[in-house]
Amino acid sequence: MSHSYKQNQVIPYYMCDRNQQLTLSMLVNLLMEVSENHSAGLGREESFLRERGISWIILRYEFSISRMPKYNEEIEVETCATEYNKLFTYREFVVRGNNKEQLIKAKATFALMKNDTRKMTKINSEIVEPYGATFSKRIQRNVKPNEINLTCASEQHYFVRYFDIDTNQHVNNSKYIEWLLDVLPPAFLSTHGLKHGIITFDKEVKEGDEVTSIVNKPAGGQLYTNHRICVGETGHASATFKWTEQSRMELDDGNDQ
Amino acid sequence: MSHSYKQNQVIPYYMCDRNQQLTLSMLVNLLMEVSENHSAGLGREESFLRERGISWIILRYEFSISRMPKYNEEIEVETCATEYNKLFTYREFVVRGNNKEQLIKAKATFALMKNDTRKMTKINSEIVEPYGATFSKRIQRNVKPNEINLTCASEQHYFVRYFDIDTNQHVNNSKYIEWLLDVLPPAFLSTHGLKHGIITFDKEVKEGDEVTSIVNKPAGGQLYTNHRICVGETGHASATFKWTEQSRMELDDGNDQ
């Protein structure tokens, strides 16, 4: 039976945007921290993997968001590893708010990378046994982000910064999210909330890279956006986000916290 | 008598650099969070100021660092407001590590800004009375960062990003620190630790700005760097950092946490 793990967190201001709501980038950081603490409690912390020359990489996120946590709100993050096969493990998260209401459901697909070759390697039961996830031969067919329409796309360029690189010596996943979202118009971002998102990470971005963040901007009242992160001509990540308009009242409610 | 406030924090991976040490940018975020929690406990939270049309801005930081906290280390941050005059208040911080040893001393200079005019305004006793700081007519003459030598400077350009803007509607101070440090060579940053820093914030950076981060890079074994952040020709921030070489052993010790 799958073992679940919970952790509470009061949302500090530095995890929030100008509307005092948790940013998607910081949500991902929190989920990964809770995931790592879960692993550490089971004796499968990052150093256990490092001694075996391997590390986890994230290949896909999917988020369903009722509302983003607000500044100063105490949330509970619950996670468990649900299923694995020879290539992937799947982890689910539920984020609950002040009154235990469900704010966010998220799902992540992990794979194991060999640190020397930086290629994926088979998942053996020694690594995943303590989590109590179910083994299934079946590789899940998860929905992919929409293809981007390059004929009506906008783009911006970003250089990888020193502090974008994490202890895995590649750009941390949360930084991709900053590039994905920063190309959207500020007037859109400040008045819309994220309802649903799918992000796939296809290829590592490394020190010295210049990335292009490409987007089909929302137009004509359309409330979804398609995204791609490239280095040169090569795709490194894709995403589709669905949005909802946020009223001034909802935002002011956040600011009253 | 000045009232002091303490808060503990376990350092999560997303606050750390590739060497698993707390970043200066995240240190500043933590200090500001502890400072705000201190204020809230005294009934002087951000919303109290907002109702009066004012907010705190930071004009200067000074850091003395024995060593930066490591990933997973539990630190204690203690702070108190030490002194104020009609224009400035001064706050001090001590960061202690696992064994209560002092890791960091920091000092910050705050001023009050009127939110409508975005100009500084006089500090009245209603605002600062609960902190128990000493009133002194004397305006402290704090050491400034060194002047930058433009004849041997390097520079990089950065566009302000959507998520750089905080609830004060200007770029958060911690983002200046990312620009200040990112211009240094990765080979230097990954092998040197910060021992001392002075940063002054002279002018707000706003949405839509393109900033230039200028640096006198360390050369010939010199272990200090002078920095300036400009928008066009106008200086918005300055800094001087002193560094020490970090041995592989010290860094591996961090990674063993």
- Would you state the pLDDT for residue B169? 84
pLDDT band at B253 (very low <50, low <70, confident <90, very high): low
Write the pLDDT tens digit of every residue in A7-17. 999 999 999 99
Write the pLDDT tens digit of every residue in A34-77. 999 999 999 999 999 999 999 999 999 999 999 999 999 999 99
Tokens of B44: 């002087």
Q: B186: nearest CA in chain A?
A: A162
pLDDT band at A256 (very low <50, low <70, confident <90, very high): very low
Interface of B with A (CB under 8 A): 12-14, 16-20, 23, 25-26, 29-30, 32-33, 36, 47, 71, 156, 159, 161-163, 165-167, 169, 172, 174, 178, 181-182, 184, 186, 189, 207, 255-256
Tokens of A58: 């994230």
Q: Domain check: are A186 and A244 in the same one? A: yes
Q: How many CB atoms lie within 10 A of CB A140?
A: 13
- Would you state the pLDDT for residue A257? 41
A156 phi-psi bin (left φ>0, alpha ψ -120 to 50, beta other): beta
Give the position of tokens 């970090």: B246
- Would you state the pLDDT for residue B256? 45
- Would you state the pLDDT for residue A218? 86
Distance CA A47, CA B98 (A): 20
Tokens of B95: 């960061």
Chain A residues with beta carbon closer than 8 angstroms to that of B71 = 167
- Would you state the pLDDT for residue B168? 80
Q: Domain check: are B98 and B202 in the same one? A: no
Tokens of B218: 């360390």
**pLDDT score of B138 more than 90:** no
Domain endpoint, select from A142, A160, A182 = A142
The predicted model gives A74-82 an average pLDDT of: 97
Beta strand pairing call for B74-84 and B134-135:
parallel
The predicted model gives A72-88 an average pLDDT of: 96
Chain B nearest-CA distance from A137, in A, is 33
**pLDDT score of B121 more than 50:** yes
- The vertex-A169 CA angle with A168 and A172, nearest 5°, equals 70
Q: Domain check: are A151 and A63 in the same one? A: no
A53 phi-psi bin (left φ>0, alpha ψ -120 to 50, beta other): left
Q: Domain check: are A120 and A10 in the same one? A: yes
Mean pLDDT of chain A: 93
Q: Domain check: are B192 and B97 in the same one? A: no
Domain endpoint, select from A112, A142, A172 = A142
Distance CA B255, CA B257 (A): 5
Q: Domain check: are B83 and B178 in the same one? A: no
Q: Give the one of B156, B184, B207 whose C-beta lies nearest to A186's C-beta.
A: B207
**pLDDT score of B255 more than 60:** no
Write the pLDDT tens digit of every residue in B188-237. 999 999 999 999 999 999 999 999 999 998 887 789 999 999 999 999 99
Chain B residues with beta carbon closer than 8 angstroms to that of A256 = 47
- Phi (first) and psi of residue B22, to 5 degrees: -55, 135
Distance CA B85, CA B142 (A): 14
Q: Hey, are the CB atoms on B162 and A189 less than 8 Å from each other?
A: yes
Please give the distance of CA A91 from its chain centroid, rounded to a whole number: 12
Tokens of A157: 């360029």
Q: Domain check: are A123 and A3 in the same one? A: yes
Q: Domain check: are B112 and B151 in the same one? A: no
- Would you state the pLDDT for residue B220? 79
Q: Domain check: are B82 and B3 in the same one? A: yes
Interface of A with B (CB under 8 A): 12-14, 16-20, 23, 25-26, 29, 32-33, 36, 47, 71, 156, 159, 161-163, 165-167, 169, 172, 174, 178, 181-182, 184, 186, 189, 207, 255-256
Write the pLDDT tens digit of every residue in B163-178. 999 888 889 999 999 9
Q: Domain check: are B121 and B14 in the same one? A: yes
Give the position of tokens 């924090």: B9
Chain A nearest-CA distance from B163, in A, is 6
Q: A24: nearest CA in chain B?
A: B163
Q: Give the one of A17, A32, A166 whose C-beta lies nearest to B18's C-beta.
A: A166
User: Read out DSSP for chain B?
Assistant: ---EEEEEEE--GGGB-TTSBB-HHHHHHHHHHHHHHHHHHTT--HHHHHHTTEEEEEEEEEEEES---BTT-EEEEEEEEEEE-SS-EEEEEEEE-TTS-EEEEEEEEEEEEETTT--EEPPPHHHHGGGTPEE-SPPP-PPPPPPP-GGG-EEEEEEPPGGGB-TTSSB-HHHHHHHHHHTS-HHHHTTEEEEEEEEEE-S---TT-EEEEEEE---TT--EEEEEEEETTEEEEEEEEEEEE--HHHHHHHHT-
Domain that holds residue A218: 144-257
Q: Domain check: are B159 and B242 in the same one? A: yes
Chain B residues with beta carbon closer than 8 angstroms to that of A48 = none
Predicted complex ipTM? 0.93
The predicted model gives B5-17 an average pLDDT of: 96
Q: Domain check: are B108 and B175 in the same one? A: no
Chain A nearest-CA distance from B198, in A, is 20
pLDDT band at B257 (very low <50, low <70, confident <90, very high): very low
CATH number of the domain where residue B208 is located: 3.10.129.10
pLDDT band at A253 (very low <50, low <70, confident <90, very high): low
- The vertex-B153 CA angle with B147 and B159, nearest 5°, equals 95
Domain endpoint, select from B142, B163, B196 = B142
Q: Cβ(B138)–Cβ(B85) under 8 Å?
A: yes
Tokens of B148: 């930058």
Q: Hey, are the CB atoms on B167 and A255 less than 8 Å from each other?
A: yes
Burial class (CB within 10 angstroms; exposed 0-12, middle 13-18, buried 19+) of B147? exposed
- Would you state the pLDDT for residue B219? 80
The predicted model gives A89-108 an average pLDDT of: 96
Interface A:B, Cβ pairs < 8 A? 83
- Would you state the pLDDT for residue B185? 95
Q: How many CB atoms lie within 10 A of CB B120?
A: 15
Write the pLDDT tens digit of every residue in A102-133. 999 999 999 999 999 999 999 998 999 999 99
- Would you state the pLDDT for residue B111? 97
Q: Hey, are the CB atoms on A18 and B165 less than 8 Å from each other?
A: yes
The predicted model gives B84-95 an average pLDDT of: 96
Q: Of A197-201, A252-256, B6-10, which gets the smallest average pLDDT?
A: A252-256
Give percent above pLDDT 70 in chain A: 96
pLDDT band at A138 (very low <50, low <70, confident <90, very high): confident
User: Read out DSSP for chain A?
Assistant: ---EEEEEEE--GGGB-TTSBB-HHHHHHHHHHHHHHHHHHTT--HHHHHHTTEEEEEEEEEEEES-PPBTT-EEEEEEEEEEE-SS-EEEEEEEE-TTS-EEEEEEEEEEEEETTT--EEPPPHHHHGGGTPEE-SPPP-PPPPPPP-GGG-EEEEEEPPGGGB-TTSSB-HHHHHHHHHHTS-HHHHTTEEEEEEEEEE-S---TT-EEEEEEE---TT--EEEEEEEETTEEEEEEEEEEEE--HHHHHHHHT-
CA distances from A234 to A164, A200, A210, A216, B227 (A): 20, 14, 12, 18, 35
Largest Cα–Cα separation, chain A: 53
Distance CA B38, CA B40 (A): 6
Q: Which residues pair with A121 in a beta bridge?
A: A112
- Would you state the pLDDT for residue A238? 98
Q: Cβ(B218)–Cβ(B243) under 8 Å?
A: yes
Domain count, chain B: 2
